Amino acid sequence: MKITGIELRRIAMPLVAPFRTSFGTETERDVLLLRVVTPDAEGWAECVAMTDPLYSPEYVDGAAEVLRRFLIPALPAHPDAHTVGRALHPFKGHRMAKAALETAVLDAQLRVSGQSLAAFLGASADQVPCGVSIGIMNSIPELLDTVQGYLTEGYRRIKLKIEPGWDLAPVRAVRERFGPDLPLQVDANAAYTLADAPHLARLDPYDLLLIEQPLANDDLVQHARLAPRLTTPLCLDESIESAEHAAAAISLGACSIINIKPGRVGGYLEARRIHDLARAHGLAVWCGGMLETGIGRAANLALAALPGFTLPGDTSGSHRYYATDITEPFVPRDGHLPVPTGPGIGVDPVPDILDEVTVSTEWITL
């Protein structure tokens, strides 16, 4: 497959409501899209790096720079998804940028062959249960109203963002209001330390599905020490950047569940490797989200349809974050989203909407 050029497109996507986590509040997503152009097809991908390096060391401006200076020039003359990964391997880190480039090439490749991303990855489901992530709120009543709204919409699982000072009370309130059968989990985004173990153990009576990334992302050993002190299963997110990291976490006993975010681990091929590894060791996995537009959401649905994804992920409908998505909107039905079946990721941006939110474009000829 010969690539004639690659477009880097920046778009600004206002969120329908501020999204607050333990590391900051987002009101708008600054999104970097990649469009790979070949004589026979175009491939699209979304870089999930945030504006500031708060969730991870990567950020949007840095991703664009490393793509134009190092990653795109390193592409082989006739790339496919596998050769892209090998060509980019010598460059350290920058997994979100690498994931975007690999995915855009893979999307173009699959559009040429007429195969869907879901089929390529080995998906076994044609729909995926919807979970929703709820940011830190200003009050308990506001939180309860928000949870009620999502349950009314049919969401199958609720995830609450937590931090010191916003953890026991919101979890208790949601359990008391909505009962023991609600699938409920929490996400700390590395806001605690091992010294907080006795406090985190106070979440155990609430029968949570999991507590996600309670400690620092670079400390598997501390997570391994925390795990036996809790009855709530530990899930790792930021700590897992590769299949090698997943293998180390499994070996140490640092987690019993893994949140797989394709952008965080360098792409969908590496995400599938982590899925296969976890499944072989009996660990559950689920697909996390990074407030993706329809471009990233479509690809995540293909991944989440693999057989090892036994827990609902952050696969929300488009309207959870955006009043108007850049693709045809994903609308949950009976708490599920359909897995796209068209070639590649199965969706395209709507040109008029894409133009309306575009901030800048850059064309790189190969």
Known catalytic residues are 161, 261
Beta carbons within 8 Å of 217's beta carbon, 6+ residues apart = 56, 190, 238, 239
Question: Which tokens hold the place of 330?
Answer: 């994903």
**What is d(CA 357, CA 347) in angstroms, rounded to the nearest whole number?**
18
- How many Å from the N-terminal Cα to the C-terminal Cα in the chain? 13
Secondary structure letter of residue 143 according to DSSP = H
Among 297, 306, 315, which residue's Cα sits nearest to residue 274?
306
Secondary structure letter of residue 315 according to DSSP = -
Among 266, 339, 246, which residue's Cα sits nearest to residue 56?
266
> What element of type H or E holds 146?
helix 140-153
- Backbone φ and ψ for 80, nearest 5 degrees, come out as -130, 180
Other CB atoms within 10 Å distance of the CB of residue 350 = 16
DSSP 34-72: EEEE-SS-EEEEEE---SSTTSSS--HHHHHHHIIIIIG
**What is d(CA 109, CA 80) in angstroms, rounded to the nearest whole number?**
7
